[in-house]
Structure 1
Amino acid sequence: MKDLTLLEKIIAAFLLLTVIYGLYIYATDAAKFDFLVEEDSFYENLTSIFLFFASFTLLYKFFTYQKFYGLWWKVGILLMAVALFFGGGEEISWGQRIFHIQSSEFFKENNAQAETNLHNMVVDGVKLNKIIFSNLMSICFGIYFLIVPILWKKSPKMNALIDRFGISVPRPIHVIGFIIITLLILVPIHHGRKWEMWEYAFALVMFLIVFNPWNSKEIFAKSTAQKDL
C-alpha cells in the first residue's frame, strides 16, 4: 500500500464501496439490483468509463515518454491503449443506445442483440462473446494477472521482454485486490448478470495498473538509457 498514491487509494476505496453497495442491494432489493446490472446502467457505464480512462492514461504516457523508447515499446503501448478503448466502446455499443442510433441491417441480422458491436455477433449460431470474449479472454486475464507478474519478477529474460513492449505489470496489491473482489462478486451473488459487476471491477483495476504498474520505473521513465528497449 505504501507504493500507492492518494488518488489510487481513493479509487480502490471507491471500487470496494461500489461492490459492497451491489452486494447489499442484491440481498435487499432484487428489482433494484436488476436495474443496476442491466444494459447502460450503473455498472456497465462505470466499466466503459474506467476502460476509457485506462486507454487515455496510456495514450498520455505514450506522448509523454515515447521519445525515450524504441519501436516495440511504442507498438506495445498503443496496442494496449487501442484494446482498452475498444473494450470501452464495445461495452456501451459505441454509444448506440445512448444516442439512439439504429443498427444497420447487417448487425440486426448477425448480432444477438441487434446492436452495433462485435462481442455479440453470431457466427454459425455461436456467439463470439462466448468463444472469444469469455473463454479466450478469461485465459488471457489469468495469464496477465497470475503469470506475468511472476515472470517479470523472477525471469531476467522475460523481464526484459515485458519491459521492451511496455507491458504494464500488475503489482501484488492489484492481483490480491482483484482476487478478493472477484470472490466477493462471484461467490455470494447468484444472478445471470453478476458478470457486469465483475467487468466493472476488472476495468477499474486495469486503470489502476496502467496508472502505476509494478514496472513503472522501467517503462515510464525520462531516460535516454531506455532508448534501446
Structure 2
Amino acid sequence: MKTLTLVDKIAYIFLIIIFGFGIYYANSNLTYFDEVYTKEDGFVEYGTALLLFCSSILLFSRFIKLQKTKKTLWKLGILAIAFVFIFGAGEEISWGQRIFNIESSAYFKENNAQAETNLHNMVVNGKKINKLIFSQLLTVILIIYLLILPFIYRKFAGIKKLVDNFAVPIVKWHQTIAFLLTTAILVFISSNRKWELYELAFGVIFFLIFLNPFNKEIYETN
C-alpha cells in the first residue's frame, strides 16, 4: 500500500462502496438498481461525467502551465487526450440536453436510439454506433493501453521516448489491477445498467492515471 497516495486510497474505497452497494441492490432489488441506483441522470451518470470533465480540465491546466517549455508533439498529445475526455463528458450527459430541457432536432429523433443529441446512441443501418465503435473499439484500446503498453514502455527505450514525446500517461500496475477487478465484479451484476457503474470506474481510474502516472515526469518542466 506504500505505492498508493491518499487520493488513490480514497478513490478505491469509493469504488468499493459504490460497487458493493451495486452488487447488493442488483441481487436483492433489481428494480431499485435499474430505476434508482443507476438510473439515467442519476448520481452514477453525473459522477462519470464530472470525473471525465475533471480529467480534461486537469490536462488543459497542465497544457497552459507547461506549454511554453514543451515541444509541439507534447502539446498535440495532451490536447488530443483532453479533448477526448471533454467529448466523453459531454456525451455522457447528452451535452446537457436533459439538464437544460433542450429538444432534439428531427435528425437525432429519427437516427438516435434514445432520440437524444449525442453520437454514441446513433443508429446506422439498424446498428448502434455505441456497440460497433464505442464499445468494441474502446475495449481494444483499453487492452492495449492498460495491459500491453505498460510492458513495452518499460522494455523498449524507443517506445518510451515516443510515448513521453506525445505526453501519454502510463498506468501504474495498481491502476491496471483496479480496472481488471472492476471488470471481473460485473459478473455478479446481471442488469444491463451495470455498465453505468463500469463507466464510473473508468472515470475514477483515469483521473488517477492523469493525476499521478508512472511517467509523471512528462508533466514536469523541461
TM-score, with normalisation over the residues of structure 2? 0.95
1:1-229 paired onto structure 2 within 5 Å: 1-34=1-34, 35-184=36-185, 186-217=186-217, 219-223=218-222
Q: Name the amino acid aligned to 2:170.
A: V
Is there any run of 5+ residues in structure 2 with no aligned partner, and where?
A: none
SS in 1 for 2:115: coil
Q: Name the amino acid aligned to 2:219.
A: F
User: Is contact 2:8-2:208 (8 Å) kept?
Assistant: yes
Q: Deviations over 1:30-69 (max 9, x none)?
A: 2210122221112211111111111111111111222221
Is there any run of 5+ residues in structure 1 with no aligned partner, and where?
A: 224-229
Q: How many Å apart are 1:27 and its aligned residue?
A: 2.4
Runs of 4 or more consecutive aligned structure 1 residues displaced over 3 Å after TM superposition: none
Provide the C-alpha distance between the structure 1 equivalents of 2:29 and 2:43, rounded to a whole number of angstroms: 15
Provide the C-alpha distance between the structure 2 equivalents of 1:64 and 1:5, rounded to a whole number of angstroms: 23
Equivalent in the alignment of 1:227: none
Provide the C-alpha distance between the structure 2 equivalents of 1:60 and 1:197, rounded to a whole number of angstroms: 28
User: Is contact 1:16-1:181 (8 Å) kept?
Assistant: no
After TM superposition, the structure 1 stretch with the greater mean CA deviation from structure 2, 173-182 or 10-19, is 10-19
User: Is contact 2:150-2:170 (8 Å) kept?
Assistant: yes
Provide the C-alpha distance between the structure 2 equivalents of 1:193 and 1:10, rounded to a whole number of angstroms: 25
User: Is contact 1:62-1:78 (8 Å) kept?
Assistant: yes
Q: Deviations over 1:59-95 (max 9, x none)?
A: 1111122222100000000000000110011011011
The count of residues paired between Structure 1 and Structure 2 equals 221
